[in-house]
Amino acid sequence: MTVSTPTGFRKVLIANRGEIAVRVIRACRELGLHTVAVYSEADRNAMFVRYATEAYPIGPAAARESYLRMDKILDVAKRSGADAIHPGYGFLSERAEFAQACIDENIAFIGPMPDSIDTMGDKITARNTVKAAGVPVVPGMDLDMRGDEAYFLEAAEDVGFPLLIKATAGGGGKGMRRVDHIDQLMNALKSAQREAEAAFGEGTVYLERLIENARHIEIQVLADMHGNTIYLGERECSIQRRHQKLLEEAPSPFVAGEPELNLRERMGEVAVKAAQAVNYVNAGTIEFLVDKDGNFYFLEMNTRLQVEHPVTEMVTGMDLVKEQIRVSRGRKLSRTQDEIQITGHAIECRINAEDPYNNFLPSTGTITAMRSPNGPGVRVDSGLTTGDAITPYYDPMIAKLICWGETRPEALLRMRRALSEYRIMGVYTSIPFHQTLLDSTRFLAGQFDTSFVEERFSMSGEDDSDRRPEIASILATLAAHDVRRKASQIVRRDPRDISNWKWVGRWERMRRF
């Protein structure tokens, strides 16, 4: 692949939609840059279309016919005179061929170089690359997909159970299956391959040891073209369901609660080393699994801006989208590692259109009313407003609610208040889930891992399910005792058959005569 050094640019095309498109447009406005939106038929009246300087249609609602069409997006870039493209996250953001196509058209790609995307986009290659650089990785094994059943069974035995089958391409939990016993392996393997093939066009998978009771912690990195690479602290991303993140916070209560382990510095230095192993430039995220003893292992690298980037912005005071643009213009990072300070605590709740009381079933329809919370330390990143439709074509995210406080307890209290003020009508949302989660004593105490939501949490708000029989027995005993106590009492009828107040009143009237 060939690369070129981008020069200054004045017009940015956003090859994305929804909340992230609005986020990028706002950053460009503050920098005095013109913006170009591309939209599908389903997004004709969307907020990001109205916010952009210019907007162009690129096809039907289905993403494969619009937002995933590189040729259409590049054609709009040339027709509109855009000299840079920001891919956001999802869609084409981690497609090396798209980054290379931009460079070939002399259009700045606001992201990493194609070679870096290509290397880190294949999980097997990424593991081998960072391992060679001295980065610890989860024990696992690459697979020859031409092998027979005996080969796969032997490979699984070598890795050990429980294990994960993971697709080499893509992310978001697609093509991933947990296997606890060897008799589950072949069915899970075939299922993961089918899903990976459908989602990414590539059915190759590999095996990885499952680190039980682990936390999912990621490190935000930034790198420029002048050899400067820094990390911006960690994000706690362990609150997940089916490998999809639901809530994130920075800093991690586990990392901050174990200062003697010096985890932040150690993980940050390893993240920088992993990024430098592929000559990384721009914003990226190194994801780790951390066990209860503080041992951490490289999971993967996301070669793009993360959905949860606002919590890092809130505690560092840096605008990551502006830094991306700054780097793509060939400038140095605005801060050095010594200037990065973590101040306060930030929490992000993903507000999705889904029903938490019905197994998080997606909810579609028109938003008939919306009232967003505000006030000190509250930020709402959204690409929707009243009258907009939630369609089945795209991710169901409505907004990201971010709250900051000087301490974690203050951030939690502020988030509780903000959630109680949030009003969205017309579709089901995940707001009740977040409200119930913030009432969980285990979550409030920071006692959770990646399996917490699925194994030790319920929408009833009772996360001490193992004590329910004991509590029920105590309540039944108390109720029976109360019934027996009342039955033993004899209540005699008042001889006067009248209240004392009435009796005194009659006595006073009789004394007057």
Element (H, E) at 47: helix 47-51
The torsion angle over the Cα atoms of residues 51, 428, 215 and 87, rounded to 10 degrees, is: -20
Q: What is the pLDDT of residues 283-295, one digit of tens each?
A: 999 999 999 889 9
CB 389 within 8 A of CB 18: no
Look over the chain and give the mean of its residue pLDDT values, rounded to a whole number.
Answer: 91
Residue 449 has pLDDT above 80, yes or no: yes
Q: What is the pLDDT of residues 135-146, one digit of tens each?
A: 999 888 888 888
Domain boundaries, the chain: 11-110, 139-209
Q: What is the CATH number of domain 139-209?
A: 3.30.1490.20
d(CA 122, CA 120): 5
Neighbours of 153 (CB within 10 A): 16
Q: What is the pLDDT of residues 424-446, one digit of tens each?
A: 999 999 999 999 999 999 999 99
How far CA 36 is from CA of 32, 92, 216, 319, 394, in Å, comes to 13, 16, 36, 21, 20
Catalytic residue chosen out of the listed positions 23, 95, 264, 304: 304
Residue 304 annotated in active site: yes
Of residues 280 and 204, which shows the higher confidence score? Answer: 280
Q: What is the CATH number of domain 11-110?
A: 3.40.50.20
Domains 11-110 and 139-209 share a fold: no
d(CA 439, CA 453): 13
Give Cβ neighbours of residue 162 (< 8 Å, ≥ 6 apart). 178, 179, 180, 210, 212
CB 222 within 8 A of CB 327: yes
d(CA 18, CA 46): 8
Q: Provide the whole-model pTM.
A: 0.83
